[in-house]
Structure 1
Amino acid sequence: MGGKLMILRQAIYHFFYHLRVFFNLTFKPLLGLIAVGMVTSILLLLSAKTQLAGTLIFVGCIATALWITLIHCYYSAILNWSDTRKEDASVIEFPNKPLK
């Protein structure tokens, strides 16, 4: 069981470490796209024929916004938890940038 957790932690570390720049560059544009999706879903909710689609889009936008906000806020903690290296010199700390 411990070996599988170690592999999972290493995979999480590599995923987040290599996509650090992607997350930093795309956070605000993704929030903008989510806002557009929420406006679209509200417009779809106004019609009786498209209420299901509007609801699904709205729920998807909310879930995506929560997910990327949590990743943005807890990025450093995720990297520290998933880092399996033992040397103190190899620990990487990224400052948590406040939402603007």
Structure 2
Amino acid sequence: MAEASIHVQVCYALPDSNFLRALTVPAGTTIGQAVMQSGLLQAFPGIDLAINMVGIYGKRKPLDTVLHEHDRVEVYRPLQADPKEARRRRAGSKPAKA
């Protein structure tokens, strides 16, 4: 009997380029395994899966999460600024409402 396989995508976005690879992997493949098989780490050697967060369709997940048919694995870049601090700066620069 042939081993079941699933179709997934691995993606990574930069301001000036992106990486999107469709893969057919064995059922039971994890996020970490799919990222390794995709060639992403060879294309972008600066990615460190111990630092960069990963997720499926915008929801953070651990590397050992088992994938399902048509999942899109996303590798996230580190934040450049704390979102809360950026919001405080923007709010502080606006004049107070009367």
- Taking structure 1 as the reference length, the TM-score comes to 0.22
Between Structure 1 and Structure 2, the one with more helix by share is: 1
Higher relative strand content: 2
